[in-house]
A and B are shown apart, each in its own frame.
Chain A
Amino acid sequence: MATPDIIFYSAKGSPFSQRVEIAFQEAKADITKYSIDLRDKPEWYASRVNSTGMLPVVVYGSPRSDPEHPSPESAKIAESHILLEFIADLYLDSGLLPKDPVERARVRLFIDAAVTKLTAPTSAFFHGGSPDGFIAALMEIQELLPPTANFAVGDHFTIADAAIAPFLARWELRLRNDVGKFEEGTGLRVYEELFQSERFARLQKYYASISNRESFKNSFDPEYILAMDTGRLGRH
């Protein structure tokens, strides 16, 4: 029996969609990607793909030749972190998830810690709050990184890296361009701290490892994202 077709509905510029795109590329998956501009969503998307209207979504088991008409019987899977596990399950030898249960738990704990520690302080900071919580949270994440391995839980790229990379990249881009609702110059100051100071050397090395991956470069459009973020978060 042939392997079911995979159609990946991806939101252009979205970090959540980029997580999934990175994972598919790391797995060297043969899929159809259907890119959607969130500002101009096709009117058929909610009724035919996902009633909540959200992306990313993977449709599994519908002919990839017709992404605009996925079959009603096909499986529709949403939520980026669930999709990361799904791709790891489909491509067991990709290394996206290790085979050892303890190592798998380490991957999941890293993802959980990153989301739990970073979400609130990051949003607060980019919306004009203090950088202190954001910097402290990144220090905690840095402390979770293994001292010398290349990636979040070892020398192999896993879904832990796919989960955090799109977010680190967007923060780096914004800070370097001083984009955020904070006072002018704050972004540059924080950029220096996080991406140039000795105190965050480990984080910088980690960021270099993940941003050098082909899967990352192929799925990241800095100009598009910077324009989008400047529109949303810039000081006008």
Chain B
Amino acid sequence: MATPDIIFYTNKASIYAERVEFAFQEAKADVTRYSIDFANKPEWYAPRVNPASKVPALVYGSPKSDPENPSPESARITESLVLLEFVADLYPDSGLLPKDPVERARVRFFIDAVSTKVSPATAAFFFRGESPDAFIATVAEIQELLPPTAQFAVGDHFTIADAAIAPFLARWELQLRNDVGKFAEGTGPGVHKELFQSERFARLQKYLANISSRESFKSSFDPGVHMVTKMFEVGLRMLW
């Protein structure tokens, strides 16, 4: 039986889709990507792929399916964190999830602890322009969860814990540096200096440096300035 196709419905500006893209790159997965334009969503997308109309979404099943008309028998999977586990299950030797049950629990604990913080913090600061101090305090909590010397979130191997939070860190860095957000004009660079240049956040900076030197990261994250405003607009419109 031929390997089932993976059709990945995505958008480069979506932070949640990027989590999954990052994992696909790490696993060196063979994936057909179909970009969904948020401003101009195809009318077949919700009825044929994802009733919630969001990305990321994945169709997995019979080979050679047409992305615009995937076989109704193929499985549809959504939710970025469920998709990260799915990619780890499809590629058990990628290291995306360790094999040891206790280590796997550590990866999931990290994802849980951080994902409950990053989304609300991003929404509050970048999309509603609320307190920079509260945002910085949340980032400090996240830094506390990183192991003191290991390269990645739960050890020296890249796992789905990294795929889950790296897109947030990368976007924060990019948006702050370019002063993009609903906060008062000029706030961005000040917060950037605190988080990405000060000694207080040295651990976080080292972690982001480890992440951004991965080939998989460079392939999945487009740091072009043109993308920065686009990401922000997309985020605002979609509540991302």
Contact = CB atoms under 8 A, between A and B. Distances in A.
Interface of A: 60-61, 75, 77-79, 81-83, 85-86, 89-90, 101-102, 104-106, 108-109, 112
Nearest to B104: A89
A82 B82 contact: no
Given A105-B75, A105-B85, 7 more contacts: A77-B105, A79-B108, A79-B109, A86-B104, A101-B90, A102-B77, A104-B85
B79 interface: yes
B105 A82 contact: yes
Counting contact residues on chain B (CB < 8 A from A), the size range is 10 to 19
A102 B75 contact: yes
Contacts of B85: 104-105, 108
Contact of B79 (A60, A83, A104, A112): A112
A82 B79 contact: no
A38 B90 CA distance: 41
B86 A82 contact: no
A78 B108 CA distance: 10
Nearest to B90: A101
Contacts of B81: 112
A82 B78 contact: no
A85 B104 contact: yes
B215 interface: no
Nearest to A109: B82
Contacts, number: 56
Interface of B: 60, 75, 77-79, 81-83, 85-86, 89-90, 101-102, 104-105, 108-109, 112
A101 B86 contact: yes
A82 B77 contact: no
A79 B102 CA distance: 13
A86 B101 CA distance: 6
Given A101-B86, A105-B85, A86 B60 contact: no
Nearest to B86: A105
B104 A109 contact: no
B56 to A, nearest CB: 13
A109 B105 contact: no
- The listed residue with most A CB atoms (<10 A of its CB), out of B60, B75, B82, is B82
B109 A109 contact: no
Nearest to B82: A108
B82 A85 contact: no
Nearest to B60: A102
A49 B101 CA distance: 19
